[in-house]
A and B are shown apart, each in its own frame.
Chain A
Amino acid sequence: MSGDAGHLPSRAGTEPGGPPQSLPRQRRGKTPQMLGRYPDYDVLAEVSHWDEPTRRVVLDRVERVPPIRFFDEREAATIGAFCDVVLAQDSEPRIPVLAMVDEKLFERKGEGYRHADMPPDPQAWREVARMLDAAAAEQGAEDFAGAERDAQLRIADRFSQGKLDWEGLPVAKAWGLVMRDILSAFYSHPWAWNEIGFGGPAYPRGYARLGPGQREHWESPPEFELDPVRDVTERGLE
């Protein structure tokens, strides 16, 4: 937790919890796990208004799930399970984050920096997979993918707080690295945009309704208004 944001939830436990009970099911288009605040909003219904290069890049994420080429089978199982845990993707449909991360690493797409005490990004990812498996083994599981959900959550929680140990890997920085790649993949996917009500690409059409509470004609109203800070606190989600 950063700073003195004392009103925010303390990380009290690792109860898996779930989405808020009244969160609507998606009625139009797809969202990850088919839940979201905008049940009638489908950003992919707007593709005809996007410019061609943008359309290609975004639709590729939906239509062309790349094969696993960077991770080996065991790493892929571990990292796949880890992605599900830290993104709370506990059922289908899932955004294929493992495949998206694997492609980035396979294509050696860098971010433009490496911490002096960190291995290069691809190696750091492999070390994280080994570290997670070792942490799962300590809990009596064969590997991370085979561990109970509770054990996976406990391991992820310790990882997030920099409390795992792994030779040659500064764990807090490794958490930052893997979460950066995972979140970039997940929130680049139009199903996630449906879930959060993001308007998406708007070239060449643009946005015209900028004021508080205003929407373009093709944007949908929310059907859920819960403040997550309160909800997460009250349900002891963290």
Chain B
Amino acid sequence: MKARLARGLKGAVRPAGNDSSLLLDPNHPSAPRPQGMRRYAEREPVDMLIVGCGAGGATLAQRLARRAWKVVVLEAGPFWDPDKDWVSDEAGSHALYWTEPRVIGGSDPVELGKNNSGRGVGGSMVHFAGFAPRFHPSDFEVASRDGVAADWPISYEELRPHYERLEHELPVAGEHWPWGDPHGYPHSPHPVGGGALRMIEGAERCGIEMRVGPVAIANGSFGNRPHCIYRGLCLQGCKVGAKGSPLVTHVPDALAHGVEIRAECMATRIELDEAGRCSGVTYFSEGRERFQAAEAVAVAGYSIETPRLLLHSTSARFPNGLANGNDLVGRRVMVQGAPQIAGRFPEELRMYKAPPPEIASEQFYETEEGRGFARGFSIQTVGPLPIGWAEHVLADGHWGQALREYMRDYNHWYVIGALNELLPLPENRVTLAEETDANGMPVARMDYSQCDNDRANIAFGKQRMREIVRAAGAQDVLEIDRYAHLVGGCPMSDSPESGVVDSDHRAWEVPNLFIADGSVMPTQGSANPALTIMALSARLGERLADKRVTATPKHRQEVPA
């Protein structure tokens, strides 16, 4: 009875405390309009000044604004108008990515830009595929359980209520999820394309279970957001407004509750007062330097720009960068291994249709005796468009006539990929390069090298995927090695010697400085990080507003939500 009732209510339950989907204009549902947005004076300290309007920053802004905090968000990129700014086209979506110069090094350098770095209101979630899995409870105690990496100073249980709430806000669609902490989703699973059907069969023959979802795409209309049209361009920004990103899930409600989002404003320094507290942020807007005063600052620029901003904010008190007294800022930056295996099938599968995120398995997520390495990986679908597919063919060693011939065969291929949990290593770090950007600020340099555990994990994941693709009936197979998803760089920890922020995201060394993005993650699991970044910010917002975290604006009275 209860199960039937729950099924009947699928997609019908409105999220509490977030009216974003109703605030969007039904005729332009892919983004809110900033006209009529509240404005704050620069000299008057706002309660919270947030740097970055992506998954972390936008969620925190919305939560605090609901509790009557005065919030300004500085965003380096534009306030998108998807109707005009976005195109249903792979190469034409260049502006969605952070394409400012950055330097990469190490023995396994990570290519930045379109694969992992967003720009503009909505952040990287604007061009993320849409997978929105939770982390597993084991992710929060990796050191205790597996003897590698670090434990988090918080447990899964502390994030669970925020996961549940956010899954209604995005909303997330998928089958019942049997892995980690088993749970259902508020929206029913989407239909899947021919390739995913093949992979489900192949996996089954290998004794591997794959399930549909979890994707942050409403199944059916959601408030004023329309149904997904399965056009396959999730990674190019959802013109439809069906895929969840902060632009449609949290920014509308934040604006309605008095948040000011200052787009095209690049933060260059966090300023300190004599008492060692942040006084505000210096930023560039239209080529001019400006300053916004604040009672507290939350940095949400993601794993490259957050460390860069802190490292560039030097002072007599912090000559090596703000909150960097222990030389930990920028360290333990992580990416997931993301090898992909493509299979060729006799019938046309046309993998450009349907959202690229279709099905997933987390059966290999945790450490298993006998594999020879710690932690694990998940398996998901990928669905590259022609340019992505060309990169695939090139990576397998083909060019010229052979490349053209593989490309002409595009419609017969389907691609699955792994997300391998690579370990946080102190030498994998973000530093400042000598090169500077247009504002005179040194650009970020990211060094990355794998360890033996990482290599063993990736090799094992590829072997499992090859088995699935073969068992699905593939006539031939291609493969590519790549990375996905930045996190880490300013880990949360239970002591100042082991991390940059405490369990309340507050910098150990600066009482009113918070970090509210994926850079606080001590480990990364094998799950796509977006939902967890949002859940962390939602938790932080709740704790700040409830005054369970001190050193926040002293004058603020409790205001019911």
Residues of A within 8 A of B (CB): 1-3, 5, 7-9, 11, 16-20, 23, 36-37, 50-51, 53-54, 57-58, 85-88, 109-117, 120, 153, 156, 160, 179-180, 183-188, 192-193, 195-199, 201-215, 219, 222, 224-232, 237-238
Known: A179-B399, A188-B386. 15 other contacts (CB 8 A): A3-B462, A5-B477, A8-B397, A57-B87, A86-B399, A86-B400, A110-B99, A111-B114, A112-B101, A116-B109, A186-B390, A195-B408, A201-B89, A201-B233, A212-B347
Question: 7 smallest A-B Cβ distances: which pairs?
Answer: A112-B113, A206-B229, A212-B194, A188-B91, A201-B88, A116-B105, A229-B476
Are B348 and A87 neighbours in the complex by a CB distance under 8 Å? no
CA distance A50 to B89 in the complex (A): 11
Interface Cβ pair total, 8 Å cutoff: 254
**List of B residues within 8 angstroms of A54 by Cβ:** 87-89, 92
B window 91-138: CB within 8 A of A = 91-92, 94, 97-105, 109, 111-114, 117
**List of B residues within 8 angstroms of A112 by Cβ:** 97-102, 112-114, 117
CA distance A120 to B103 in the complex (A): 10
Please tell me if B349 contacts chain A, counting CB pairs below 8 Å: yes
Are B191 and A210 neighbours in the complex by a CB distance under 8 Å? yes
**List of A residues within 8 angstroms of B389 by Cβ:** 187
Are B92 and A156 neighbours in the complex by a CB distance under 8 Å? no
Q: Given that A3-B479, A57-B92, A227-B475 are known contacts, is A37 also in contact with B408, CB under 8 Å in the complex?
A: yes
**List of B residues within 8 angstroms of A183 by Cβ:** 387, 390-391, 394
Are A202 and B354 neighbours in the complex by a CB distance under 8 Å? no
Which A-chain residue is minimally distant from B396 (CB atoms)? Answer: A2
**List of B residues within 8 angstroms of A153 by Cβ:** 400
CA distance A127 to B118 in the complex (A): 30
**List of A residues within 8 angstroms of B476 by Cβ:** 7-8, 227, 229-230
CA distance A156 to B402 in the complex (A): 14
Pairs across A and B, CB under 8 Å, 25 listed: A5-B479, A8-B396, A23-B408, A53-B87, A85-B400, A88-B400, A88-B401, A112-B99, A112-B100, A185-B91, A188-B90, A188-B92, A188-B386, A196-B410, A201-B87, A203-B229, A204-B240, A206-B229, A207-B232, A211-B197, A212-B348, A222-B411, A228-B405, A237-B401, A237-B402
Size class of B's contact patch? 35 or more
**List of A residues within 8 angstroms of B232 by Cβ:** 202, 207
CA distance A50 to B233 in the complex (A): 13
**List of B residues within 8 angstroms of A195 by Cβ:** 404, 407-408
CA distance A213 to B103 in the complex (A): 44
Please tell me if B445 contacts chain A, counting CB pairs below 8 Å: yes
Which B-chain residue is minimally distant from A193 (CB atoms)? Answer: B386
CA distance A5 to B410 in the complex (A): 19
**List of A residues within 8 angstroms of B240 by Cβ:** 203-204
Are A58 and B193 neighbours in the complex by a CB distance under 8 Å? no
Are B89 and A184 neighbours in the complex by a CB distance under 8 Å? no
**List of B residues within 8 angstroms of A37 by Cβ:** 408-409
Chain B 222-238 interface 0/1 with A at a Cβ cutoff of 8 Å (1 = within): 00000001111100000
Are A227 and B391 neighbours in the complex by a CB distance under 8 Å? no
Are A202 and B231 neighbours in the complex by a CB distance under 8 Å? yes
Which A-chain residue is minimally distant from B117 (CB atoms)? Answer: A112
**List of B residues within 8 angstroms of A199 by Cβ:** 350, 352-353
Cβ 8 A contact of B410, one of A3, A113, A185, A198: A198
Which A-chain residue is minimally distant from B350 (CB atoms)? Answer: A199
**List of A residues within 8 angstroms of B105 by Cβ:** 115-117
Please tell me if B478 contacts chain A, counting CB pairs below 8 Å: yes
Q: In whole Å, how far is A46's beta carbon from the nearest beta carbon of chain B?
A: 11
Are A114 and B102 neighbours in the complex by a CB distance under 8 Å? yes
Cβ 8 A contact of B408, one of A36, A184, A212: A36
Q: In whole Å, how far is A90's beta carbon from the nearest beta carbon of chain B?
A: 9
**List of A residues within 8 angstroms of B231 by Cβ:** 201-203, 205-207
Are A198 and B352 neighbours in the complex by a CB distance under 8 Å? yes
Please tell me if B375 contacts chain A, counting CB pairs below 8 Å: no
Please tell me if B318 contacts chain A, counting CB pairs below 8 Å: no
CA distance A88 to B393 in the complex (A): 15
Q: In whole Å, how far is A112's beta carbon from the nearest beta carbon of chain B?
A: 3
Which A-chain residue is minimally distant from B348 (CB atoms)? Answer: A213
Are B104 and A115 neighbours in the complex by a CB distance under 8 Å? yes
**List of A residues within 8 angstroms of B409 by Cβ:** 37, 196, 226-228
Which B-chain residue is minimally distant from A216 (CB atoms)? Answer: B353
CA distance A192 to B407 in the complex (A): 9
Are A212 and B198 neighbours in the complex by a CB distance under 8 Å? yes
Q: In whole Å, how far is B473's beta carbon from the nearest beta carbon of chain A?
A: 11
Are A198 and B98 neighbours in the complex by a CB distance under 8 Å? no
Are A196 and B112 neighbours in the complex by a CB distance under 8 Å? no
Cβ 8 A contact of B88, one of A111, A114, A196, A203: A203
Please tell me if B403 contacts chain A, counting CB pairs below 8 Å: yes
CA distance A203 to B130 in the complex (A): 18
**List of A residues within 8 angstroms of B387 by Cβ:** 183-184, 187-188
**List of B residues within 8 angstroms of A237 by Cβ:** 400-402, 405
CA distance A204 to B408 in the complex (A): 26
Q: Given that A57-B92, A112-B99, A183-B391 are known contacts, is A232 also in contact with B229, CB under 8 Å in the complex?
A: no
